[in-house]
Amino acid sequence: MIFNIPFSDILFYIVAVFMIFAALLAVVSKNILRNAIFLIATFIGTAVLYLMLQAEFMAMAQIMLYVGGVVVFIIFAILLTSRLGEDYLSTPKSQKIGALFLAMTFLAITLNFLIQNSNLLKNVSNATPADSSLSAYGIRLLSYAPDGFLLPFEIISILLFMTLVIAITIAKKDDKEEK
Amino acid sequence: MILPSVTHPIGDFVRENVPNILGYLPEFIQPYIPSAEIATFININICMVAIAIIGIAPVPVLIYMERKVCAHIQCRLGPMRLGPHGVLQLVADIAKLLFKEVYAPIGADKFLFYLAPIFVLTAPFLNLCVIPFDKNLQVADLSVAIPFILAMNGFGILSTLLGGWASNNKYSLISSLRSGAQIISYEISFAMILLLVVMLAGSASLGEITASQSGHFWDWWIFKAPGLGILAFLMFLVSSTAELNRAPFDIAEAEQELTGGFHTEYNGMAFAMFYLAEYINLFTTSCIATVCFLGGYHAPTIGILAIDNILNYVPGIVWFLGKAFFVVWIYMMFRWTFVRPRVDQLMALEWKFLLPANLLLLILGVVFLAFGWILP
């Protein structure tokens, strides 16, 4: 009775399988640039999941920041390094075993949590949907307690400003050097 | 269930009639037919075909226009041999590109080499989805249309970087790094000008931005905020020219230095994809400029009733395309008028002039809004 499954469920499984494969390839692939490409595929999958949860702005921010920002900078860094394309990224076996152990521990903890709190999974549809529109985001970021985030927002903006000033200070030409 | 964001006669027609037609199927398979989903799929396919048509159709016009504008600026005639005034020249070019063999150079990363031309077409086509060509001619009226456009532009950078690296050619690599740095830098001011428009219009949806400019031609954002609008429009033209990698900011392709840039090693259809993307991007960016500054599909009414009625009689899409091609023409005049700056000059223009100017413009926008200096 495949047709009795809601359409969105089928879509979810397609996206989930796609994401798992992309994530695996991002780790397994030998070429570091290809890893970055598969990482993009996983990010796009995450964005699709956000879209399916009707969090449009989150999906757009995911693609804008991760695909357009972070991964592009990663690729930039990769392109500027030498010895690309060679099998330069082989990790020692001890690291691989450690990574496998860490991943498995994380999976076990997550599964354990979900099994113990299985009512969280069952009552999802009862939760009231929050307003996830762009204006709601803006208003909540700029309003204060109890449900606003004005203080964190301002602190982050100061942090960003500091980063900008530091970047300019580093990039600035020293007067003595020019002479 | 996926709900449509724009109510549209064709979409409603499909949604109404698909269940009726499927009702004629035999009784025993009726419960297993997802008619609502089938209707959605049909609608999605109609949308994709429409986007493909509106994306591809302007390209021959743009290429012909580019050749003729370029030729007339340089006191030449341009293509004249094939067909009247050379209109068939493009057909010959396309036939040539179609029959060429596509192959990757030795030592190139084949997977990434063929992936890059696919990535490059993502941004322009997806951006066309959110543009309102007329009141009902819009695939999706996203409430986050401006973030969507900025997000999709990220794929353009990716394709440039990947194509340049995968070609296994030093000139291509240099070119892709140059253009990557250029696009990343100019994307900031591109985003900030769109942010100014979002702030003035009070919405990030292109449908609502267009609706905020209804009325006479001085209600368009280029005139509505006196002085500010024209400055923002000029800065939009500069930063989007750089974003489009068009001359005078085409240091990525600089033929004299880099033998053609990141797509040197591409040939046949793979090269045609880059070429196509360049022109669809040109059209898309002109459309964004039209929506954000030139009033979208609104007719340029002047306040005299007799003339306004005649102007309003013309369909909105005609006004839209007219304005969009006017912006395209401005881009082309740009291309053949100014000389190419050096890489460091280009970066200095963005980081030392455009970015501070943009921040100032944003603050001015707040002042204009706070004091109500915007035309009613």
- What tokens appear for B175 in the block? 């070119």
Burial B315-332 (b: 16+ CB within 10 A, else e): ebbebbbebbbebbeebb
Of B112, B177, B184, the CB nearest to A34: B112
Residue B5: pLDDT over 60: no
Q: What pLDDT is stored for residue A174 in this prediction?
A: 67
Confidence of residue A16 (pLDDT cuts 50, 70, 90): very high
Class of domain A1-87: mainly alpha
10 Å Cβ neighbour count for B152?
A: 23
Cβ atoms of B329 and B248 within 8 Å: the answer is: no
Q: Is the peptide bond before A152 cis (omega within 30 degrees of 0)?
A: no
- State whether A72 and B180 contact (CB < 8 Å): yes
Dihedral, CA atoms, B96, B99, B104, B105, nearest 10 degrees? -60
In angstroms, the CA A84 to CA A81 distance is: 7
Q: Quick one: closest CA in B to A54, which residue?
A: B2
Q: Quick one: closest CA in B to A63, which residue?
A: B151
First to last CA, chain B: 41
Cβ atoms of B34 and A3 within 8 Å: the answer is: yes
- State whether B177 and A79 contact (CB < 8 Å): yes
- Per-residue pLDDT, averaged over B35-49, amounts to 83
Q: What pLDDT is stored for residue B182 in this prediction?
A: 84
**Is residue A58 within 8 angstroms of chain B, CB to CB?**
no
- Per-residue pLDDT, averaged over B276-302, amounts to 89
Q: Where are the domains of chain A?
A: 1-87, 91-124, 131-172
Q: Which residue has the tokens 């354990």?
A: A112
- State whether B144 and A56 contact (CB < 8 Å): yes
Instruction: For residue A50, give the nearest of A61, A41, A58 by alpha carbon.
Output: A58
Residue B3: pLDDT over 60: no
Q: What pLDDT is stored for residue B287 in this prediction?
A: 92
- Per-residue pLDDT, averaged over B223-244, amounts to 88
For an interface test with A, give the residue of B28, B41, B144, B175 to mutate (most A CBs within 10 A): B144
Q: Which residue has the tokens 């698909």?
A: B18
Confidence of residue A14 (pLDDT cuts 50, 70, 90): very high
Q: What is the pLDDT of residues B183-210, one digit of tens each?
A: 888 888 899 999 999 988 888 888 888 8
Instruction: For residue B250, give the nearest of B267, B274, B268 by alpha carbon.
Output: B274
Cβ-Cβ contacts under 8 Å for B133 (sequence gap 6 or more): B54, B287, B297, B316, B317, B320, B321
Q: How many CA atoms lie within 13 A of B245 on its CB side?
A: 30
Cβ atoms of A86 and A30 within 8 Å: the answer is: no
Confidence of residue B1 (pLDDT cuts 50, 70, 90): very low
Which has more confidence, A121 or A50?
A50
Candidate from A77-86, B8-17, B98-107 with smallest mean pLDDT: A77-86
- The listed range with the strongest mean pLDDT (B183-187, B286-290, B294-298, B333-337) is B286-290
**In angstroms, how far is CA A46 from the centroid of its own chain?**
7
Instruction: For residue B213, give the nearest of B291, B267, B279, B277 by alpha carbon.
Output: B291
Cβ atoms of A62 and A43 within 8 Å: the answer is: yes
Cβ-Cβ contacts under 8 Å for B272 (sequence gap 6 or more): B94, B97, B98
Cβ atoms of B163 and B271 within 8 Å: the answer is: no
Instruction: For residue B138, give the nearest of B8, B290, B43 by alpha carbon.
Output: B8
Q: Quick one: closest CA in B to A47, which residue?
A: B151
Confidence of residue B11 (pLDDT cuts 50, 70, 90): confident
- What tokens appear for B282 in the block? 């040109």
Residue numbers in A near B34 (CB within 8 A): 3, 7
Residue numbers in B near A63 (CB within 8 A): 151-152, 154
- Work out the percent of chain B whose per-residue pLDDT is above 70: 95
Instruction: For residue B277, give the nearest of B93, B126, B130, B91 by alpha carbon.
Output: B126
Candidate from A36-50, A116-130, B263-277, B310-324 with smallest mean pLDDT: A116-130
- What tokens appear for B144 in the block? 């986050």
Average model confidence (pLDDT) across chain B: 83
